[in-house]
Amino acid sequence: MVLYRRSCSHITERRRRNARTLSLPLYENSVTLTSSQLPTEILDEIVQFALVIASTDLDYPGFAFIRSLTLASSCFRKIVFRRYLSSLTLNTLSQLDNTFKLLLSLGDEPFAGAFSWVRTVHAPSGILSAQPHASQLCYLTNLNELSINCNHEGFSTYQQRFKLICVNLTSCSPIMTLTTLTLTALPRIETRMLQRIALSFPSIVNLYLSCTERLNFSHCWCCLEDSLTCTMHSPVPERYLEVHDLATAFADALKPLKNLTDLHLGVFLSHEDLVYSHMRHAPHYLGHPDIISAPSECDICADHAKDVRMDELAASLIVARKIRGLQTIGWSSFFGYGGGDWASNGEKADDDVNDGGGGDQVEDTNSDIIVGNDCKTKVWILRMNGRVRVRRVPW
């Protein structure tokens, strides 16, 4: 019995020694394992994915959607707010008021706080120019994309509203980060506005300006006529005698934008009388006075298609010469889709007859893949061997 107890005592002591030995570090520089935690980059991607999913059902996911996420931890809260506030869609004054109050509450210094998280803003012109928050636009120092809807503006208000927005955005310093600017449903496009854009936002890469969203060919003729009277949809010949004059004026105003690569100017280069002529003959041609249609759907107006499409190419060539970095240019057009009859109106070079050079360089360019008939057309630009060429399909 004594021998058995000594044996058990020896085994127990040996196990204790071994246990103490195993608990010692195996190396002089031992490795300490940290607690399992997702990296911040992965958390950021998860939050972004959740917001993308939410945006499929809502144009702008409300704060209730992220409320539980902001309560998870301080790190999670900052990530969620930074992602949530990076893109703002402000459709009402209450949304603007609540959003700016939230931005102000998240930091002591607006310039270095949550306002610097905002990268994209979509809003009507009346919302962005509303006081008192209009003056706080200067805090958006890292803005990359700005989209403004001017549908409720008139000829006497849109210039002043846009000027106020530009002044507030650049009151402290020019925004060098803004690369995309979109202005839709404008009453008109004028050189003063283009000059202000070039001065206020010198780093723009993508510029989209358009008037023709105001014209609605899905309502009655009276509604269409009303929208025509409050929109300068076709500046030739009322504003500019020739398409050449229009293209030259617009290009000169935008010439300071050295980084501009994609430009859309949403005005019709067709003659102003084209729409009114269509309104006179379309009811008789269609055989029903209540049916409204666009000139693109009218065989009579189609006689003008070739000349209009050639003017669009000629204007694009003029703009491409003056703005050296430009790669694409778009216009509003009733004849944006080129059928087989228009296949020969696909390309123009800078030595064409109409541009003071040598022979005619118009060529066939597979016009069946031109941008569709949605009152738009797009032209691609090629610069090679000292020449500029434009056509309606990518090079």
Q: Which of 23-32, 89-98, 189-198 has the lowest mean pLDDT?
A: 23-32
Domain boundaries, the chain: 41-84, 179-391
Q: Which of 155-159, 262-266, 286-290 has the lowest mean pLDDT?
A: 286-290
pLDDT above 90 for 54:
no
Q: Which of 72-76, 126-130, 328-332 has the lowest mean pLDDT?
A: 72-76
Q: Are 291 and 283 in contact, with CB atoms under 8 Å apart?
A: yes
Strand order in the sheet with 376-384: 87-89, 120-124, 145-149, 180-184, 206-210, 262-268, 328-332, 376-384, 387-391, 347-349
Q: Report the C-alpha gap between 292 and 304 in whole angstroms.
A: 19
Name the band, by pLDDT with cuts 50, 70 and 90, for residue 288: low
Report the mean per-residue pLDDT for the chain: 79
The structure's pTM equals 0.79
Q: Report the C-alpha gap between 2 and 10 in whole angstroms.
A: 12
Residue 137 C-alpha from the chain's centroid: 19
The predicted pLDDT at position 286 comes to 62
The predicted pLDDT at position 251 comes to 98
Q: What is the per-residue pLDDT across 74-87, written as a single tens digit (0 to 9) for each?
A: 666 677 788 888 88
Q: Are 167 and 133 in contact, with CB atoms under 8 Å apart?
A: no
Name the band, by pLDDT with cuts 50, 70 and 90, for residue 242: very high
Q: Which of 57-66, 208-217, 289-298 has the lowest mean pLDDT?
A: 57-66
Cis peptide before 187 (omega within 30 of 0): no
Candidate ranges 14-18, 22-26, 43-47, 378-382; pick with highest mean pLDDT? 378-382
Name the band, by pLDDT with cuts 50, 70 and 90, for residue 45: low
Which is more confidently placed, 312 or 298?
312
The predicted pLDDT at position 374 comes to 67
